[in-house]
Structure 1
């Protein structure tokens, strides 16, 4: 059995290419043009909608292509307008995941982050007003059905433009990448801490600093013990040991 031409991740993009091909066949990459010319019937059978421009002047491969059940004219028009927007929104969400770390404010001196041109709706030919009309569930998983893409993008900007730079698109294991996306974008790795917990954490970090200074003075000129840059590792180990003990590890 032949593999499908498209899957749920790229159908919207394929539809956008199909519509561009209908307007201007020379305006799409050669491989897409060849696919629509030779396998247009199969593409339609797998779920692509035939653009209006092709109804009167279709290549031979599309002549016998059965049209899917037609929704009302108004619904079909809305769908044709929505699909390119879905494609642009999907690309913008992916851009935040690929390049969002360039928005992170990690310079202690307060310099502005470098940013990236793809992190704006205008780069993909859309706007926040247009994206506000699109349900976020079309381009992202695990989101409130009432939220728009514009709402989701505002959250992504808050997440990626914070004080932590998240960059893991270089990983080859997409299962791990998906898990990291879920953790970062759900903020599951940032549990709320009570004032008491924050004070306890500060006290523990002060103990770490005090231990470092004590060893430095006690063995002056003999050994140099330093935790510079790794202070936070100590309370992290404390938590790991505590959680392991709870689970009987």
Structure 2
């Protein structure tokens, strides 16, 4: 017989036991009453979430089909002590999962130079929850968490590290909206916080990165010493914004307004908004394509704004990059105002 006596079929039994206990302790058998009494507050909180937390309840037909006497009894073939041991293992594993959801980002590998080592946090150590090395190969019921009914502890830890403590950190449980929390959790846990790119997608990202880098190198050599606020170190911003614009367009968004800082602005103009290189370079050379482009005394190239239309999968989207003053934060209310005006107009 499998040492793990707890599974999706009898988890509702434990949930109902705990519910009865919380309402009236004497309604459950004394052995279970002693078991619940031995649990701390964090353990009880996890146990109360069997079947899903309050903000993410999963339907259960099993619990509705069971009728309970005043004193609830398990199925006769189940060893009660082993059943309790399996329940305790599940509670400990679920507490570990919750800890990673809350604090996993604290040991995420966010330093590309590997100067700062953050690979340990007390609350992310499975031994902090009463588990030990002998439990690593033990299959533990985790009630659908991480998309699994049950898994060996070492596999649970591996998935948690990949999802919450790899090269991307996610901090989301402070969010007040249950729907938003569920949305974030589902999307990062379903793919273990990794994006699978198609070969075509990788080529598109590579093309944008090379295009951005070569443009910056050209400006640096051709207009040496000219103030331009290059994108060096932030090149990945370009394919990122490109993907946001593309997905927004496919989803039906018709207008995007962007307010951005000076750094990387010229590259953003040339790539995402498609402003011709000729128009950008003419500004460096002091030429005007249009008399109306007179910027006025003291204005500079990296204040430029422009609008353009892009097309993705047969749909069009209008993008406006708002002109920026030297006081960068002043552009934020301008962007918000333009968006509000557009919403009113529509």
Shared fold per TM-score greater than 0.5? yes
- The answer to whether residue 244 in structure 2 is matched with residue 213 in structure 1 is no
1:225/1:216 CA distance change after superposition, 3 Å:
farther
- Higher mean Cα deviation, 176-185 or 235-244? 235-244
| Alpha-carbon contact 1:212-1:227 (below 8 Å) kept | yes
Shift of the alpha carbon at 1:202? 2.2
* Aligned counterparts of 1:141 and 1:49: Cα–Cα separation in 2: 32
| Alpha-carbon contact 1:104-1:160 (below 8 Å) kept | yes
Shift of the alpha carbon at 1:171? 2.3
| Alpha-carbon contact 1:85-1:131 (below 8 Å) kept | no
Q: Name the residue aligned to 1:115.
A: 120
1:136/1:40 CA distance change after superposition, 3 Å:
closer
| Alpha-carbon contact 2:86-2:140 (below 8 Å) kept | no
Structure 1 runs not aligned, ≥5 long: 1-7, 19-34, 55-64
1:246 to 302, 313, 316: 313
| Alpha-carbon contact 1:100-1:161 (below 8 Å) kept | yes
Q: Name the residue aligned to 1:178.
A: 182
Structure 2 runs not aligned, ≥5 long: 1-10, 35-68, 250-311, 317-346
Shift of the alpha carbon at 1:247? 7.6
1:73/1:198 CA distance change after superposition, 3 Å:
closer
Paired residue secondary structure (1:147): strand
- The answer to whether residue 88 in structure 2 is matched with residue 84 in structure 1 is yes
Q: Deviations over 1:35-55 (max 9, x none)?
A: 78xx424xx4xxx6542676x
- Higher mean Cα deviation, 126-135 or 167-176? 126-135
* Aligned counterparts of 1:122 and 1:191: Cα–Cα separation in 2: 31
1:211/1:50 CA distance change after superposition, 3 Å:
farther
Q: Name the residue aligned to 1:102.
A: 106
- Structure showing greater Rg: 2
Q: Which has the higher helix share?
A: 1
Q: Which has the higher strand share?
A: 2
Q: Name the residue aligned to 1:138.
A: 143
| Alpha-carbon contact 2:93-2:140 (below 8 Å) kept | no
Q: Following superposition of structure 1 onto structure 2, how do residues 47-62 of structure 1 map, counting pairs within 5 Å?
A: 50-51=30-31
Shift of the alpha carbon at 1:137? 4.2
Paired residue secondary structure (2:84): helix
RMSD: 3.5
